[in-house]
Structure 1
Amino acid sequence: MTVQENSIALTGRRVVVTGGASGMGAGLVRAFPKLGANVVSMDVVEDAGAAIAKDAGAQFVACDVSEPESVKSALGQSVSLLGGLDVLIHAAGTAPGGAAEDITFATWSEVMSINATGTFLTNQAAFEHLKASGGQILNFASAAGVQGLPNKAAYSASKGAVVAWTRTVAREWARYDITVNAIAPAIWTPMYDKTRASMTPEQLAAHDAFMASAVPLGGKLGDVDEHFVPVLAFLSSIGARFITGQVFPIDGGTLMMR
């Protein structure tokens, strides 16, 4: 294997993925072992998470990312299973909708505790295992956290916090050789299928017309395996070790960062 090939390989990389029981997190749990990585999936949904991990040749640890002790314990257990840690991918999240004026305190608190506080807790826990020898952290941001998204005010606010946190700790933790980046994905998942199924034929037609103009590449959300996994694989490889504090849209050109 050449130096260039080795720099983007995942062979032997020790990776923890949160939110591994569904959506994009599950896609990574299924894909990364095939690319040579050793993977532990963490999720609050135990049955589905454990089944997906087992089928993929990964391991599973139950975790509630909004609870400090759960995160600390689960990360410690995961690192023990892996024999160390190279990469944390924090994919766990929630995205309820609704008009801003109608958001309840309970909904606001839940979204913030999972998306924003979950990022804070998992990143801090990973830091303790990475500070001696360096490593990589990948957080899940969103276009909503950069430019806002109507009817997703709490979600947008939480993802704005993820962006600000990521850029700040990227500066602070660089001296430990820890890189911290975020992605802003627009990927087709089972959750999106449910959203589409809840629309009337008229709403679906309007939505698809909007997507056709909003996504320059293809006019629709991307595919997990074709469009999403390859980018995450690179960002989890040692070839990405000179990149930090960035937000990478994986969205067909919808959000053009600058």
Structure 2
Amino acid sequence: MKKENSIDKLFENLVEQFSKIRNFELTQTDPLGNKLFNFVVKLVSEFDSYQKLFVQYYVPASKKSAIAVKKEIKHSKYKKYFHITEEELNENYYETIRLGYVGAYHKYESYIKRLPILMDEFFKELDFDNNFIPIKDYLKKEFDIELRKTIYNFPITYKVNWICNCVKHKDGYPLKEPIPPFFKHLNSSKKIQLESKEFKSDMEELITHNNLILQSFFLIGFYQYLNQEGANKELKPEYQEEGKIEVLKSHLNSTIKMIFSEA
């Protein structure tokens, strides 16, 4: 059986996810929309490659290194002087995974900074009578939500951010306050130890989360559009009926709030 091309699979999965977004066809026909689509494809590809780099290369290399050191000690004529535990031998392996979370969070930070800029460009091209408010500002004004603080609203971004901070500021020990509820069980005297399987799963969840953020930005943009005077004239006839636009706005409002509500 012919091996499935990983790039083809990645691209097809992205198209499937994008197709769920209202007016997805704009990302294929509109220059700005296409620019936005290409940006997301590039970023998701980077995340996918980053995850594979660690899981398929860095992590196995760190394991191999630990085995080699263990073998050297076993056959050393000075082995009686070495009192290294199995856990200590595997420290490079766990350190590699911890560093993986640091890099992943920095990639997410970059995504959150760059995506709103592209989304603003995209929506400014629609007829907003030059009253368009940048996505981040509108999110704060209309919903009292600061985008940079929403990392604590989602378990996956909270987890990745917390591990990153522990590595950067606590030498890998689970001491960064406040400690998330899902990490209360960790021994504070031991550095964080996570397996490569969990890291891989978390990276996949982070990619899914990025898609959610993208979809939420589309919703915010269209919600702002619907609140512009005369916006209903641009809608399909079935949505121009009395009361329909208010129902649509109410639905968008509650959906946006639900997405960013604390888990």
Q: TM-score, normalised by structure 1?
A: 0.28
Higher helix share: 2
Q: TM-score, normalised by structure 2?
A: 0.28
Higher strand share: 1
Which has the greater radius of gyration?
2
